[in-house]
Amino acid sequence: MFNSNLHLHVNLINHKKLEVTPTRDGFGRGLVEAGKRDNTIVALTADLAESTRVEWFKNEFPDRFIEVGVAEQNLVTVASGMASLGKIPFVTSYATFSPGRNWEQIRTTTAINNQPVKIIGCHAGLTVGPDGATHQALEDIAIMRVLPNMTVIVPCDSNQAYLATLALASYNHPAYLRLGRSGVPTITSPETEFTIGKSQMIYEHPHAQVTIIACGGMVHTALVSALELETMGIYVDVINMHTIKPIDSQAIINAVKKTGAIVTAEEHQIIGGLGSSVSEVVSSKYPAPIEFIGVRDTFGQSGTPEQLMNHYGLTQQSIIDAVERVITRK
């Protein structure tokens, strides 16, 4: 059953009526609200103000906005300097460029110095669609979570992106917020609590046989899968692991002790992403079988978001198949 304590969206049971909104829109709204609350917040972008929704902040606070042009390495270095002088910078670009192009500057100027720069990677994952492999960041979670001092967040919908942005505005450490281009169903509400590092049990069954742990837009896919599995007589729990680092280790341990099997689902390479993070906890604390849904050591390609998700197996049916497989391994 759905977790009533989370104040999820009123249309969640009838998921076909859910509003579909990009997570980048939630970030845009959140940054404007954060800017109203704190005048030390500044925003910088590398020629992508409209696409990353930082233009909304620019329109409200033009004197606190900096356009660096197509210069992603400069983007982060300038932001780190501003952070050292007391500002709270949010820097935006496509995830394939930031952190993809400027990872060394993030490591050297932000992470090593523990500066509270917030790196916003938009248009991440396969659902960038026709832009193709060069613009489909599928490795960004991996390269960011490996950095000491870095926090990594992947919100499940627009409302959660809004709340995550507000949380990051008062978070005195470097952080990476991963956002998408395409709309995803809104499963949370403005009243759904968000805490960095604390996952959410979205769907729970007293006799669950498997726990599905998902992040980003795959959380909704996991929920739809859970409802379909229930009609088949298979019961699962669903966890929204919105914070990849620091990961909620205790929630993972509790889950595997209860169900004895895990399926992870992410719009990212299975190497180095959510699945790897979960398996690191499980293998060291409470070994159990795991199945992974994600991109399998390959690059993306051009296509519609739906075509790409189907081609790479990031679907409801793929999750159902993985649940059935992992049960046989218990």
Separation between Cα atoms, residue 317 and residue 225, nearest integer Å: 7
Residue type for 16, please? K
What count of other Cβ atoms lies within 10 Å of the Cβ of residue 57? Answer: 28
User: Apex CA 182: angle with CA 176 and CA 184, to 5°?
Assistant: 85
Same domain, 149 and 169: yes
For the cut 90, the answer to whether the pLDDT of residue 268 exceeds it is yes
Share of the chain above pLDDT 90, in %: 93
Same domain, 73 and 108: yes
Same domain, 215 and 165: no
Share of the chain above pLDDT 70, in %: 98
The range of the structural domain enclosing residue 238 comes to 197-328
Residue 167 lies in a domain: yes
The number of domains in the chain is: 2
What integer is the mean pLDDT of 130-140?
96
pLDDT band (50, 70, 90) for residue 281: very high
Instruction: Please report, for the domain that includes residue 213, its CATH number.
Output: 3.40.50.920
Same domain, 166 and 215: no
Same domain, 106 and 26: yes
Residues marked as catalytic: 72
pLDDT of residue 3: 73
Residue 13 lies in a domain: no
pLDDT band (50, 70, 90) for residue 259: very high
CA dihedral angle for residue 95, residue 96, residue 97, residue 102, rounded to 10 degrees? 90
Same domain, 60 and 152: yes
| pTM greater than 0.85 | yes
pLDDT of residue 18: 82
pLDDT of residue 4: 74
For the cut 70, the answer to whether the pLDDT of residue 45 exceeds it is yes
Same domain, 91 and 36: yes
* Per-residue pLDDT tens digits for 199-250: 999 999 999 999 999 999 999 999 999 999 999 999 999 999 999 999 999 9
* Per-residue pLDDT tens digits for 53-109: 999 999 999 999 999 999 999 999 999 999 999 999 999 999 999 999 999 999 999
Same domain, 168 and 44: yes
Q: Look at residues 128, 156, 185 and tell me which one is the last residue of a structural domain.
A: 185
- Write the CB contacts of 307 (distance below 8 Å, at least 6 apart in sequence): none
Same domain, 232 and 180: no
Same domain, 249 and 302: yes
